[in-house]
Amino acid sequence: MSGKILRDGAIIDPNASQRLTSATGKPTVTVLDYGSGNVRSAVRALERAGAEVILSAKPDDVLNADGLLVPGVGAFETVMRELKSVDGIRMIGRRVAGGRPVLGICVGLQVMFEAGVEHGTEAEGLGEWPGKVELLPAAVVPHMGWNTVTAPAGSKLFAGVENERFYFVHSYGVQHWDFDVIQPRMAAPLVTWSEHGAPFVAAVENGPLCATQFHPEKSGDAGAHLLRNWVDGLRRPASGGGE
């Protein structure tokens, strides 16, 4: 890998063309670079979690990394438009269809749903999950600060931090979950909830596709532990042959 060094080997290299590999054996993670605010905190947090990280929108980087992180701040419709501008929607869909891990954060969670409604305008989402992002019915928005979550049994993301607080900054959320498991062998997604005016989806774990409404990279030790859980899940099985 080559390019501008950010920190501990993380690079910005939108023109990279080689398959992502790590000389140290660390899992590789691409943070999708589509203009979503300040993502350097996410890059640093993933590095501390044990990943080799690059910030890129190059298809080779997005599709070939062990994991893809989709950040997101701002308006739902704007994030969708910016994702389209870098062909992010197609690339996210290809990874999910191929069973390659994806983690969305904040609006990166919201756009995984069917639609978002902000200021009376409805915008189409990626449609990976049914549901609509709507204004939280709380006396005070945005929901800004630390809050608890209710994680389901069997959660891998929240293993070891089920009772911790995480940092939220949002005015909109998914308040209803209705997911039909169509295939008999298909496991139902694991949904974690929080509450601000009403219960809302705080995180989803659905095979290769996971997402959090809160910001793990801003959630102190609990967020760092959650990111380590995700990065550890990216590690490739050791090949046979007596290494």
| Structure confidence by residue, pLDDT tens digits, 118-143 | 989 999 999 999 999 999 999 999 99
Give yes or no for residue 70 having a pLDDT over 60.
yes
pTM: 0.88
What would the mean pLDDT of 51-59 be, rounded to a whole number?
Answer: 97
Amino acid 24: pLDDT: 78
Closest alpha carbon to 191 in 146, 149, 132: 149
User: Is there a contact between 39 and 216 (Cβ–Cβ < 8 Å)?
Assistant: no
- The predicted-structure confidence for 95-109, as pLDDT tens digits, reads as follows 999 999 999 999 999
Question: Residue 42 pLDDT > 80, yes or no?
Answer: yes
Average pLDDT over residues 31-55: 94
12 has pLDDT over 80? no
Contacts of 87 (CB under 8 A, 6+ apart): 57, 59
The pLDDT score that the predictor gives to residue 38 is 74
- The yes-or-no verdict on residue 183 having pLDDT over 70 is no
Active site residues: 106, 215, 217
Position 37 confidence tier, pLDDT thresholds 50, 70, 90? confident
Class of domain 28-234 (CATH, top level): alpha beta
* Domain ranges (residues) in the chain: 28-234
Contact 147, 173 (CB under 8 A): no
pLDDT > 80? residue 9 = no
Q: What is the pLDDT of residue 235?
A: 87
Q: 191-202: per-residue pLDDT in tens?
A: 999 999 999 999
Mind giving me the DSSP string for the chain?
Answer: --SEEEETTEEE-TT--SPP--TT-PPEEEEE-SS-S--HHHHHHHHHTT-EEEEE--HHHHHHSSEEEE---S-HHHHHHHHHHTTHHHHHHHHHHTT--EEEETHHHHTTEEEEEETTEEEE---SEEEEEEE---SS-SEEEEEE-BPPTT-STTTT-TT-EEEEEESEEE--------STTPPPPEEEEEESSSEEEEEEEETTEEEESS-GGGSHHHHHHHHHHHHHTTPPPPPSS--
Helix axes 76-85, 88-97, angle to 10 degrees: 90
Q: Tell me the average pLDDT across 135-152.
A: 98
The pLDDT confidence band at residue 32, using thresholds 50, 70 and 90, is very high
What is the C-alpha separation between 101 and 33, in angstroms, rounded?
Answer: 17
Cis (ω within 30 of 0) for the bond into 216?
A: no
- The C-alpha atoms of residue 3 and residue 11 are separated, in whole angstroms, by 6
